[in-house]
A and B are shown apart, each in its own frame.
Chain A
Amino acid sequence: MPVESLFPRLEALLPKVQKPIQYVGGELNSTVKNWDETTVRWALMYPDAYEVGLPNQGVQILYEILNEMPETLAERTYAVWPDLEALMRSEGVPQFTVDAHRPVRAFDVFGLSFSTELGYTNMLTALDLAGIPLEAADRGDDDPIVLAGGHAAFNPEPIADFLDAAVLGDGEQVAIAITEVIREWKTEGSPGGRDELLMRLAESGGVYVPRFYDVDYHPDGRIRRVAPNRSGVPWRVHKHTVMDLDEWPYPKKPLVPLAETVHERFSVEIFRGCTRGCRFCQAGMITRPVRERSITTIGDMVEAGVKASGFNEVGLLSLSSADHSEIGDIATGLADRYEGTNTSLSLPSTRVDAFNIDLANEFSRNGRRSGLTFAPEGGSERMRKVINKMVTEEDLIRTVTTAYTQGWRQVKLYFMCGLPTEEDVDVLGIADLARKVIQAGRQATGSRDIRCTVSIGGFVPKPHTPFQWAAQAPHEVVDRRLKALKDALRGDKEYGRAIGLRYHDGKPSIVEGLLSRGDRRVGRVIRAVWEDGGRFDGWSEHFSYRRWVDAAAEAGLDVDWYTTREREENEVLPWDHLDAGLDREWLWQDWQDAVNDVEVEDCRWTPCYDCGVCPTMGTEIQIGPTGKKLLPLTVV
C-alpha cells in the first residue's frame, strides 16, 4: 500500500513555528528509500528535540546499519516542540519521520532510544500524535511494534505498559536479528498476528516483551515475583554485546544537519565499556567488558567521517577516553594528520591524570585551547573511596598545576551531591578542593588570571549498579548542602572570585530517581503527568516537579518509597529478571565495600574480581596495544 508524504500538509504549518528547518529533513548523508521495495520498516526516535536527538550516536548507527540491509528501511523522528504539536493536533497531521515525512504508524517497528528516563513523556506525545494507542494492550495488527533501547531500557518497567518490547545492550546485531524475525513472519503472511510476532521475538531470549511477564507484589508493596506467564518465554532476558568494534565501524556517513544541534562534530567511539568500577556509574556497569576499537580503524573512521561530513571537529568518545591502550599514538597520529587544516580534536571524559594534559596539548595543537575538564566526583577522600573514584587530592592538584603551567587558564571540575553516606562535610570539601586548586595554580604560574569552575550534578541511584539498593538523598538535603557550599565559596575573599559554581536544585533528580528505579506501577504516574501537559522533562523550562508529585499522589504512589528508601539485600528489584551480566552477589558485596570505604581496582590491569559479566555473557576484555601507528594521509 503506498504511503504518502505528509510534507505538503506539514509545510503549511512550518511558517508558524520556531526553527522550522528541524522538521524538514534532507540532512547530508540521510537516506530515503522506496517504501514499496522494502519489507521491514523502522521508524527510529530519539525522544527529545531534534537539536539534541540528531547527533545521538546510537540512532545514527542503527539508521545506517538498517538502511544498508536489503529490503529494509529506516527513517528518523524526533519530539516536536509544543508549538508544532498544537498545530499538528488542530490540523490533524500525525507524527512524521523527517526523512520522507511518512506517518510513524505506517512502519513495522517504532524504535525509541532512551539515554535518559526524562524522555518518557515525549514518547507518549509521539505515540498519541502518531495515532498509536498509548497502552500496548490496546494496539492492533496495524500498529507498529513499539520497541525501547538505550541505557534506560535496562529497567523499562515504568514504561512497560506502553512498550511492546525492549532490548538491552548494543543494538547493532540485535536490530538486524529483529529485522530478520519480522521479515520471516511477514513473508509467511503474518501468521498469528501481533501476538505471534512478539512471541517469536521473546522466544529468541534477546528481546524483552513485558506483557509475557506477570509481576506479583507483597502486601507491603515490594515485588514478590516476576515470572513468565506463558511457556517458551525465558525467565531472564540478556543484554547484547558487540564483540569486535572493528567489524562495526559506524557511523561511516555521519548525518550533517542544516539546523543547529548540541554537538557539531564527527564522533568516533574509540572503545565501548569501562571497568574503572565507579559505583555510581550505570554506563560503566552495563556496558562491560571493555572493547577497544583499533587505532587503525579509528584513523580510517576519522578520515572517512571528516571527508563525508565537512565537520571541523572530531570527538573521540568513550566512557573514559584516555584509557585507550594506544591513546597517545592516536592523539599524536591524528594531530599530525590534521596539522594546519583547522580541524580540532576533542576528548571528552578524561580522568584526573597528568598524562591527560599531554593529550590535551596534543589535541589543541590544531584548534582552540578551551578549558580542561576533570571529574573527581566526590569532594572528600572518603567520599571518593565510597564511589570508587580513585583520585587523591594530590593527583588532582598535581594535574591541574600542570595544566595551568602549560597555558590552560580554565579548569572545570565535576562533582556529585547526594551520594550514599554523604555528609555536609563531604560537600564542603568541594570548596576546599577548589581553593587548593586555585592556590596551586597561582603559585605555579605567578598569575591571578586562572579560573576553576565547579559543576555539580545530583546523584541518582541506578539499576544494575552497586548503588541500586541505596537510599537517594531527599532534595531538601541536597539543596541544603549545595547552599552551604555556595555560601562557603561566596564568602571567600581570597579565592571566591576565581571559582565558578554551577548546579541545579535537587527536585529533578527525585523524579529521575522515581523513573530509574520504578516498577510497573509508576507507568500510571507517567501517563497522568503527560495528560496534564508534561513534555520535555529534561528541559528545566518545561519540567514541573509539582506536576509529578501531584500525579504520584493521585495514583496513590509514595515517591519516597521509590527514591529515598534503602532496599534490603533480598528484595526483588523490578529489573532483576533483566540480565546485564553482573552477578547480583558481587554487586551486593561491592555495595558493602562502598559503605566500608573499600576500593576495587580496574580488571583491565589487575586480576578479575568476578563481577560476572564475561562468563555470563561469553565475552572478554579486548584491549591493545596493536603496536600500529597512524601514517600521514596521502594527498591525492
Chain B
Amino acid sequence: MPVVQRLRVRYAKRGRLRFTSHRDISRAVERAVRRADVPVAFSAGFSPHPRISYVGAAAPTGVASEAEYLEIGVTRHCDPERLRAALDTSLPPGLDVVAVVEAAAGNLADRLECSVWELQLPEADHALAAVAVERFNAAERVEVERLTKKGLRRFDAREAVLNLEVVEVTETTAGQATSRPCVILRMVVRHATPAVRPDDVLTGLRLVAGFAPPVPPEVTRLAQGPLDVTTGEPADPFGPDRDITRGGGAEPAGEHVGCDL
C-alpha cells in the first residue's frame, strides 16, 4: 500500500537506555510500531521492510539524547499527537517519544545542522576545566586522533565547535541524589565530516591543557536543528513543518476521521 502521509518523530533515549545502539533502537521501534498498530507502509519486494528512516547521525552507544529523529511512512492518515502517545506507550521506558509532526515540507536531514551536547564530568577538576575550555576556544585548530572503522584518523576538532563553556559546577549531579562534585560542559557543535563528537572535544581539552576527567563522562545530546545565526544555537527542526500545518496547508481535518491513531 502506498505512503499517504509521512510523520516526523523526535524521540529521546534516557537513563540506562543510553546504552542502546542504533541497531537496538531500530528493532525496538519496529516492534513498538507493530504493538501500537501504526499503519506503517512496507517496501515492496522479496524482503519487505517497514518505511521507517532514521534522520541524522545517531547519538553513539552510551550517549543519552533528548533529540533523535526518525520518519515513518503510513498507509492511512494519522493524528500526530495520538501517534506520539501510542508509540510512546509501546516503547520501553527510557525510549520516549517527545514530539510528532506531519512532514509538510523539505528535507528534515538538511535541517539537522548542529547539536547541543552536555557533558557531566563527575569528580573532575573545575579550575582545570575552565582553563582547558579557555585554551580550546582560543586555539585556531586542535588536531585530535580517533580510531574509526577505517583506522586511526587525524582531524581538527576546533572549527566545528561553535560554542563551548563550563555551565556550572554542582555538588549534586542533575537529577540524581549523589553528592559528588561534578563539572558540566555545554557545547554547540556543527555537523561536519568527519563528525566531531563530544569525546573528540574532550580529547582536545586533554591536549590543550592536560584536562582528563577521572571517570567516563555522561554525555547527553540536548538538541539538534538548523543553526540560528542570531543566537548561535539550533532552532526547532520541526519549525517549517509546524508553520505550514498551522498556515492551513495541511490535510483537511476530515481526513483524520476513521483512523484509529
Q: Contacts A14-B62, A368-B47: A310 and B32 contacting too (C-beta < 8 A)?
A: yes
Asked if B175 CB lies within 8 Å of chain A CBs, one says no
Contact A312 B24 (CB under 8 A): no
Q: Contacts A259-B24, A342-B48: A26 and B90 contacting too (C-beta < 8 A)?
A: no
B217, closest chain A residue (CB): A15
Contact B27 A264 (CB under 8 A): yes
Report A326-366 CB contacts with B as 1/0, cut-off 8 Å. Answer: 00000000000000001000000000000000000000000
Interchain CA distance A308-B36 in the complex, whole Å: 10
Report A1-27 CB contacts with B as 1/0, cut-off 8 Å. Answer: 000000100011011100111001111
Q: Give the Cβ gap from A573 to chain B, nearest Cβ, in Å.
A: 46
Residues of A within 8 A of B94 (CB): 26
A310, closest chain B residue (CB): B31
Q: Contacts A20-B19, A24-B19: A12 and B216 contacting too (C-beta < 8 A)?
A: yes
Q: Give the Cβ gap from A629 to chain B, nearest Cβ, in Å.
A: 26
Contact A256 B46 (CB under 8 A): no
Q: Contacts A7-B16, A12-B215, A21-B20: A312 and B34 contacting too (C-beta < 8 A)?
A: yes
Contact B27 A260 (CB under 8 A): yes
Interchain CA distance A310-B91 in the complex, whole Å: 10
Residues of A within 8 A of B24 (CB): 21, 258-260
Contact A342 B42 (CB under 8 A): yes
Q: Contacts A12-B215, A15-B216, A16-B216: A26 and B93 contacting too (C-beta < 8 A)?
A: yes
Asked if B125 CB lies within 8 Å of chain A CBs, one says no
Interchain CA distance A247-B215 in the complex, whole Å: 52
Report B76-96 CB contacts with A as 1/0, cut-off 8 Å. Answer: 000000000000001011100
Interchain CA distance A406-B251 in the complex, whole Å: 47
Contact B17 A310 (CB under 8 A): no
Within 8 A of A (CB), among B23-82: 23-24, 27-28, 30-35, 42, 46-48, 50, 61-62
Asked if B170 CB lies within 8 Å of chain A CBs, one says no
Within 8 A of B (CB), among A128-165: none
Residues of B within 8 A of A28 (CB): 31, 92
Contact A310 B34 (CB under 8 A): yes
Q: Contacts A12-B216, A28-B92: A368 and B46 contacting too (C-beta < 8 A)?
A: yes
Asked if B21 CB lies within 8 Å of chain A CBs, one says yes
Report A221-256 CB contacts with B as 1/0, cut-off 8 Å. Answer: 000000000000000000000000000000000001
Contact A310 B23 (CB under 8 A): no
Residues of A within 8 A of B93 (CB): 26
Contact A309 B48 (CB under 8 A): no
Interchain CA distance A11-B18 in the complex, whole Å: 11
Interchain CA distance A489-B1 in the complex, whole Å: 47
Interchain CA distance A11-B30 in the complex, whole Å: 27
Q: Give the Cβ gap from B104 to chain A, nearest Cβ, in Å.
A: 28
Contact B23 A260 (CB under 8 A): yes
Within 8 A of A (CB), among B232-256: none
Interchain CA distance A486-B216 in the complex, whole Å: 51
On chain A, the number of residues with a Cβ less than 8 Å from chain B's Cβ atoms is 28
Interchain CA distance A204-B139 in the complex, whole Å: 77
Interchain CA distance A14-B90 in the complex, whole Å: 26
B33, closest chain A residue (CB): A310
Q: Give the Cβ gap from A165 to chain B, nearest Cβ, in Å.
A: 34
Q: Contacts A12-B216, A26-B16, A307-B35: A20 and B92 contacting too (C-beta < 8 A)?
A: no
Asked if A311 CB lies within 8 Å of chain B CBs, one says yes
Interchain CA distance A14-B215 in the complex, whole Å: 12
A15, closest chain B residue (CB): B216
Report B193-213 CB contacts with A as 1/0, cut-off 8 Å. Answer: 000000000000000000000
Interchain CA distance A95-B37 in the complex, whole Å: 39
B176, closest chain A residue (CB): A8
A311, closest chain B residue (CB): B31
Q: Give the Cβ gap from B126 to chain A, nearest Cβ, in Å.
A: 21
Residues of B within 8 A of A342 (CB): 42, 48, 50
Contact B21 A21 (CB under 8 A): yes
- Tell me which of A11, A15, A256 contacts B31 (CB under 8 A): A256
Residues of A within 8 A of B92 (CB): 26-28, 258
Report A277-313 CB contacts with B as 1/0, cut-off 8 Å. Answer: 0000000000000000000000000000011111110
Contact A258 B17 (CB under 8 A): yes
Contact B20 A309 (CB under 8 A): no
B23, closest chain A residue (CB): A260
Q: Give the Cβ gap from B195 to chain A, nearest Cβ, in Å.
A: 19
Residues of B within 8 A of A259 (CB): 24
Contact B42 A14 (CB under 8 A): no
Interchain CA distance A342-B52 in the complex, whole Å: 15
Interchain CA distance A20-B20 in the complex, whole Å: 8
Contact B19 A14 (CB under 8 A): yes
Q: Give the Cβ gap from B214 to chain A, nearest Cβ, in Å.
A: 11
Residues of A within 8 A of B23 (CB): 260
Q: Give the Cβ gap from B218 to chain A, nearest Cβ, in Å.
A: 9
Q: Give the Cβ gap from A410 to chain B, nearest Cβ, in Å.
A: 14
Give the most central of A260, A310, A311, A368: most B CB within 10 Å: A310
Contact A11 B62 (CB under 8 A): no
Report B176-196 CB contacts with A as 1/0, cut-off 8 Å. Answer: 000000000000000000000
A264, closest chain B residue (CB): B27
Contact A312 B62 (CB under 8 A): no
Interchain CA distance A264-B215 in the complex, whole Å: 35
Can you spell out 28 A-B residue pairs with CB atoms less than 8 angstroms apart? A11-B16, A12-B216, A14-B19, A15-B62, A15-B216, A16-B216, A19-B21, A20-B62, A21-B19, A21-B61, A25-B16, A26-B17, A26-B92, A26-B94, A28-B92, A258-B27, A258-B92, A259-B24, A260-B27, A264-B27, A307-B35, A309-B31, A310-B35, A310-B90, A312-B31, A342-B42, A342-B50, A368-B47
| Extra 6 A-B pairs, beta carbons < 8 Å, given A15-B62, A20-B62, A260-B23 | A11-B16, A15-B216, A24-B19, A258-B20, A311-B34, A342-B48
**3 A-B pairs with least C-beta separation:** A310-B31, A310-B34, A20-B19
